[in-house]
Amino acid sequence: MNLLIYGGGAIGRGFIPWVFPPDEFKYQFVDVKLSIRGYTTYRIKNGHYEELYIETSHFDEADAIISAVGQRNFIHLSGKFKHYPVICCENDSRLPLAMTSVNHNYNIFFAIPDVITSNTAPPELLDKDPLSIVTEDGVLYVDNKMSWLGGNAIYLDERGMFQEWKAKLYLHNTPHCIAAYLGYQKGCWYVHEAMQIPHIREIIERVIHETTQMVVNRYSIDPAFALAYGKKELKRFSNELLFDPIKRVAREPLRKLALGERLVGAARLCIQSNVTPHGIIEGIFAALQYDEQTDPDYERNKNMNIYTLGLDSDEPLMYMLMEKDG
């Protein structure tokens, strides 16, 4: 089968070929920064790197499109996604419906990459191939309406996708970006370096405890599933083989600080679920202080503070933020 992959970053280039193996699928990448004929992706398995060389193709017709371009760029591709089945690997479950409303393609389905994929590799692998990229041995959960595509994906019904998405959003995305923002403040380059700092690890453990309680209370997520998921996250954030860059995970803080997103949104949901989000609040302040000049949000983030987050002045989270802000 022919897969047209929009986005040659971490997920599209590093992870997807492990899900849809090159002996069964051909790949054509569409990415403004990518012009390659082949590259190497490495999967971490049993404590070692497993190598897979990908030869890229050029074809006129695709059997399916996989989108991994980032949330901000997804809707701009509406004209490109009119006539093909699309697997949306973006970090927002609302995007397939939003795209359908724009281009009237009803074959756009959500997917959840339960994986951390770096957008780079350690020096010894980059010496072999400058385009090398490293990924965990993860899982791609896909809406079961796309099950005909096969590969190594796991196709789930609506309830299964719901549970995996809430876990990914709050048990992975929330503590992951907080680890990055806190690590940035300490001058770390990679997330695993941040997790080696006891104070940061303690905060991340607290965040995972808070979000675990929240998803169980609010969404009736199975407690055993949520607890196991949280333990998995602590282990993967600390993986020294992954070389997951702080700047990759911390990028675009304004999106992560949006009212319904993984920081402010998660904190509000915790309060509504009778969970006090002390750890998440630490992450909100760290995100507001993120001043990496190469980040797309740099200029706007300079003017952000707790009063520009869009919170009502009388809501509990605002009181907690004001109290911490002094």
Residues constituting the chain: 326
pLDDT tens readout for residues 176-220: 999 999 999 999 999 999 999 999 999 999 999 999 999 999 999
| Model pLDDT, residue 33 | 62
Give the pTM.
0.93
Q: Cα–Cα–Cα angle for 134, 139, 143, nearest 5°? A: 135
Write out the two tokens for 53. Answer: 């060389």
For range 138-147, the mean pLDDT = 98
DSSP 160: H
Per domain, the residue ranges of the chain are 2-156, 160-325
Asked whether residue 228 carries a pLDDT value surpassing 90, the answer given is yes
pLDDT in tens, 270-303: 999 999 999 999 999 999 999 999 999 999 988 8
Topology (CATH level 3) of domain 160-325 = N-(1-d-carboxylethyl)-l-norvaline Dehydrogenase; domain 2 (1.10.1040)
> Has residue 266 got a pLDDT over 90?
yes
Per-residue confidence (pLDDT) for residue 250, from 0 to 100: 97
* pLDDT on residue 288: 97
Tell me the backbone φ, ψ of residue 66, rounded to 5 degrees. Answer: -115, 125
The span from the CA of 278 to the CA of 253, in Å, is: 19
C-alpha–C-alpha distance, residues 249 and 50, integer Å: 23
Domain 2-156: give its CATH code: 3.40.50.720
pLDDT score, position 37:
75
Contacts of 214 (CB under 8 A, 6+ apart): 170, 266, 269, 270, 273, 275
d(C-alpha 246, C-alpha 182), whole Å: 9
